[in-house]
Amino acid sequence: MIRLYSLFALIDLVLIIAALISCLSAEEYEIWALPRIVWVVLILLFSPIGPIAWFVAGRPARPIRLSNGTVWKPGSGFPENERPRPMAPDDDPEFLRRVAERGKREDEDLMKKWEADLRRREEELRKRDGGQ
């Protein structure tokens, strides 16, 4: 029984040391979920749950080799030149063309209304001047 407890204690100690080394050697931006100091406290105080939680939830993810041969690190997103971006309306030529057509159509309609109003007023003035 003593041997079994000794084995568990040794496994726990190795797990704590491995988790501490992994946590302390990871870059700050690679650590997930919690700040580094919280992970260290969890690893030291809540054994063996803390080290297991570090390896499951806090450890930096390993890079993945994609089928096209490039290496992608989870959480790193896309390279800047490959990042999918929505096109702003003022950069979309189709949108600009539609806006210009709509504006031209609205301008023509407005001009027709103004011309019709001007003709109507001129007619009213002619009738008034002719009637006197």
CA distance 40 to 29: 16
Please give the pLDDT value at position 132.
Answer: 59
**pLDDT digits over 52-98, tens only?**
998 888 876 667 777 777 776 665 565 666 666 677 777 778 888 88
The mean of the pLDDT values for the chain is 83
Mean local confidence (pLDDT), 5-34: 87
Greater model confidence, 85 or 40: 40
Contacts of residue 53, defined as CB under 8 A and 6 or more positions apart, other chains included, come to 42, 46
Please give the pLDDT value at position 66.
Answer: 73
Please give the pLDDT value at position 121.
Answer: 93
Mean local confidence (pLDDT), 88-117: 87
What CA–CA distances, in Å, run from 21 to 16, 54, 84?
Answer: 9, 11, 37
In the chain, where are the structural domains located? 2-82, 89-131
Greater model confidence, 1 or 44: 44
Greater model confidence, 132 or 62: 62
CA distance 39 to 43: 6
According to DSSP, the residues that pair with 71 across neighbouring strands are 65
Extract the tokens encoding 60.
């930096």
- 59, 32 Cβ separation under 8 angstroms: yes
CA distance 65 to 109: 60
User: Above 70 in pLDDT, residue 41?
Assistant: yes
